Amino acid sequence: MTLEVRSEPNGFGASVEGFRANDPSAELTAELRRLWLKHQVLTFPDQSLTPVQLKCFSRQFGEFGEDPFIAPLAAHPHVVEVRREPSEKVLPFGGSWHSDWSFQETPPSATLLHAAEVPPVGGDTLFADGYRAYEALPSNLQSELEQLSAIHSARRPYTLQGFLAGGGLERSMRITPSDQALNTQNHPIVRTHPETGRKALWINRVYTISIRGLDKPQGERLLQTLIDHALQDRFVYKHRWRKDMLCMWDNRCTQHCAMGGYDGYRRVMHRTVIAGDRPV
């Protein structure tokens, strides 16, 4: 097996060619996992996949995770269709910086997204490197942050109020708001990756709502400072999609944001998530 790997200049993100995702082997899976842990975001061009094939490929990397608040494809309970029709004017789904489902007790380790229909303009995805964001902090601040934890919740986008405020009724996606979105989880601000042992700054704009032990003004100031730091251009990789491209990223050390810029065009992606572990 010979894979062609082209990494981004700083090593955050890589494109991998020379294999077919519709026929994964144990050897291929092991090598892709090694590359994924190294680069955090992998893209696989020219992978024509049905939802069944996407599920089969995804399962090579672990059990499926739980996708709350979004109805899956009717025939494929572990596949979510991320769809935006030409007439939609609301912010694209995932259009604010986040790490997928960080409000869960055990958020997903990986997300896989396959491009079924791609607009001719716009629709890029931005990824931010939590490893380098943490490593760029002063050592005294690193030590302080390692003693702190943050509260995560889905209340902003997935309560009924948040759903309506975000233009949920105008979306073609099948989003199901619920009072369950009010639940919270306490997670470390500095997360140690269970496989690489590296530390990442692990907060995000959508789901991180406060810092435990700090009053609201203090917590909001610190969160804003950390988020601004984590989203500097030097930590961000812009991914440009093509039809049939498959992308896989590590939610334990990255965050991401879906960009717009394609009003008047349809965009359809199929997504799976892989179960993860409790952040430490």
Q: In angstroms, rounded to a whole number, what is the distance separating the alpha carbons of residues 199 and 130?
A: 8
Neighbours of 113 (CB within 10 A): 24
pLDDT value at residue 23: 85
Domain ranges within the chain, ordered by starting residue:
4-274
pLDDT classification of 2: cutoffs 50, 70, 90: confident
Of the candidates 275, 253, 270, the residue with the CA atom closest to the CA atom of residue 99 = 253
Q: Contact 275/118 with Cβ under 8 angstroms?
A: no
What is the signed CA dihedral for 189, 193, 197, 201, rounded to 10 degrees? -30
Q: Which residues contact 233 (CB under 8 A, 6 or more apart)?
A: none
pLDDT value at residue 173: 93
pLDDT value at residue 176: 95
Give the tens place of pLDDT for each residue, 239-277.
999 999 999 999 999 999 999 999 999 999 999 999 999
Of the candidates 198, 218, 226, the residue with the CA atom closest to the CA atom of residue 138 = 226
Mean pLDDT (whole number) for 177-181: 97
Q: Given a cut of 90, is residue 24 above it in pLDDT?
A: no
Environment class of 257 (CB within 10 Å of its CB; exposed 0-12, middle 13-18, buried 19+):
buried
Q: Given a cut of 90, is residue 73 above it in pLDDT?
A: yes
Q: Contact 270/78 with Cβ under 8 angstroms?
A: no
Q: Which amino acid is at 196?
A: T
Q: Contact 243/151 with Cβ under 8 angstroms?
A: no
- What is the H or E stretch that residue 27 is in? helix 26-39
Q: Contact 93/82 with Cβ under 8 angstroms?
A: yes
Q: Decide which of 3.30.360.10, 3.40.50.620, 3.20.20.140, 3.60.130.10 is the CATH code for 4-274.
A: 3.60.130.10
Q: Across the chain, what does the average pLDDT equal?
A: 97
The reported pTM is: 0.97
- Structure letter (DSSP) for residue 225: H
pLDDT classification of 99: cutoffs 50, 70, 90: very high
Q: Given a cut of 80, is residue 1 above it in pLDDT?
A: no
Mean pLDDT (whole number) for 29-35: 97
- Indicate the range of 15-24, 56-65, 148-157, 198-207 predicted with least confidence: 15-24
Q: Which amino acid is at 49?
A: L
Q: Given a cut of 80, is residue 163 above it in pLDDT?
A: yes
Q: In angstroms, rounded to a whole number, what is the distance separating the alpha carbons of residues 276 and 252?
A: 8
Tally of helices (H runs) and strands (E runs) in the chain? 7, 15
Mean pLDDT (whole number) for 119-140: 98
